[in-house]
Structure 1
Amino acid sequence: MDTLLNNLDVFVDGFTLTLQVFLWAALFALILGTIVGAMRVSPVAPMRWVGTGYVNLVRNTPLTLLMFFFAFGYPKLDLPNVSYTTLAIFALGLYTATYVAETLRAGINTVPLGQAEAARAIGLTFGQSMSHILMPQAFRAVIPPMMSVFIALLKNTTVAAGFSVAEAGYIRASLSERGEPAIVVLLWVALFFILLVAVLSFVQRMLENRLKVLR
């Protein structure tokens, strides 16, 4: 307990930044993943090709390599300077969006084909069918796997610690300089991550129960 209380500022700062990175990356991944998921089931072949290419390329690239690109490659492209934290958010968002897209695509495929055909029959465009009929049902169907994607994102934020982002994954290295025992620090970090995952699991159950009532 002394390790925690004597270094509470480091733990608070680290997990505050972790939550910020997680929330922004989750929002970015959800928006981009929804767009890519819609492209994956689009009747327009070029859109399907772009969506499929993005998913296959990014999902099969290790997250560490994406982080390397944004940390060391991006600054050499003569683009606007941004912080390592922002670059980490982009890398995590781009990577997680592929899993969001595939999860949503699976949810869309659970919607009976007749509903999409009925939408076309009454004159709805593909975009209208997706936003009013397919996506609402898909999101309800994929709440558990989607929450698993975001739980994985939360844990993946620790990768950013290796690229000068002082979030939770950086706490051990920081406290080692103060002479704190590494194993104790890691156990506290693990405990806080378990608590955060428990919160996400609670949100998942709450959403499942609420949407179950709405059906």
Structure 2
Amino acid sequence: MVMELLGLAGLSALVASGAGYAGRWGWRGWRARLDGDGTGETPLVLPPFRPITPRAFVSSNDQGAFGEALSCVMMAAEGWRPINGKPGPGPQGVDGIFVRMGEAGFEARLIETKTNASRYAARQMSDAKLGEDLTRLYLTCGDPVLGKLYARLYKGLAEGDAAIRKQLWRHHLARGVTEQVSLDRAGEADGPVRLVQSHVFLEALAAGLDELDRGRRYWTGLYPS
């Protein structure tokens, strides 16, 4: 009985204090603060794009690797699958080889990625140089499925197959945009430059790397001061 009375007394005190609090500030006042503009709907604004500067990377090589990873993410979003383009542990080879089965059958894209102001030489994407890269990949891959794909790419390049295209991508990390241009057989620009908004992919990749590289071996931080 005593505990029940104490419980009722505590409840009464809580209600009384709440009533006094509401009387002093007003429930409507709190509701208005939650509503923001008083219309019942708080306007939402997304945070602006925050550019990534070269200082975010430990070295220029890490910046280049980030750009290649960004190309992979963007291509994967369109249904392309990446396959290895480098026969060894170093940077030599093809930055990106992407394949998929489209409505018309097999398609492939060979992409050279440049990040910010890194230099590009046409010979990097000439048919002759890519043919050598594909030959090394075929001889060293040790996988019959990949070997068949490399052989198909080699033959397609030699024959000028329209299903196999070459492109140069340049990511501008401070602007969140990517320039894309097709390349001819000599690796020279062939056609207009297409400007693509890539900031959403860039921010997603940066956020993931910020968590993955907590030891800061490659990545100094998402937005360094």
Higher relative contact order (Cα pairs below 8 Å, separated by 6+ residues): 1
TM-score normalised by the shorter chain: which range applies? Answer: under 0.3
Structure with more of its chain in helix, by fraction: 1
**Richer in strand (by share):** 2
What TM-score do you get using the length of structure 2 for normalisation?
A: 0.23
